[in-house]
């Protein structure tokens, strides 16, 4: 079965988290990760997203950019991105441009559900 890998356009760690929170608070329009903005509020996970994540049957994993690059050093993408992993193959599920075109978490969920249904056919 495929796994969806969500790669945020942010590095991991407490320092980076503090910088991200400050950026969201003081300059949200210039925040570089729309995937983060859709799935997280300033201080916590978006409730609608969390509910979706808890009820979905999809295999999902979440990585920050630095974590993804460590696990997959031979792959280069523009972030944020959602990838579909089948065995050792990574395919683009939702591209940076597709994610950046979304304005609500509901749109993100609809896209994921629609594309995952197509993937299973």
- State whether residue 107 is helix, strand or coil: helix
State the pLDDT confidence band at 30, using cuts at 50, 70 and 90.
Answer: low
Contact 64, 55 (CB under 8 A): no
Taking the alpha carbons of 8, 14, 19, 25 in that order, is the dihedral positive or negative? Answer: positive
* H or E element at residue 21: helix 14-26
Residue ranges in the chain assigned as alpha helix (H): 14-26, 34-39, 47-55, 65-71, 96-100, 105-120
Residues across the chain: 121
Per-residue pLDDT of 53-86, as tens digits, reads: 999 999 999 999 999 999 999 998 999 999 999 8
pLDDT at 64: 92
> Does the pTM exceed 0.75?
yes
């Amino acid at each position: 079965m495929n796994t969806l890998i969500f790669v945020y356009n942010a590095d991991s760690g407490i320092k980076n988290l503090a910088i991200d929170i400050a950026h969201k608070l003081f300059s949200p329009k210039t925040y570089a990760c729309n995937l983060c903005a859709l799935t997280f509020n300033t201080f916590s996970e978006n409730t609608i997203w969390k509910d979706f994540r808890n009820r979905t049957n999809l295999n999902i994993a979440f990585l920050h950019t630095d974590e993804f690059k460590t696990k997959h050093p031979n792959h280069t993408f523009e972030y944020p991105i959602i990838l579909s992993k089948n065995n050792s193959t990574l395919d683009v599920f939702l591209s940076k441009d597709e994610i950046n075109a979304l304005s609500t978490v509901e749109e993100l969920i609809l896209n994921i559900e629609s594309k995952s249904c197509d993937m299973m056919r």
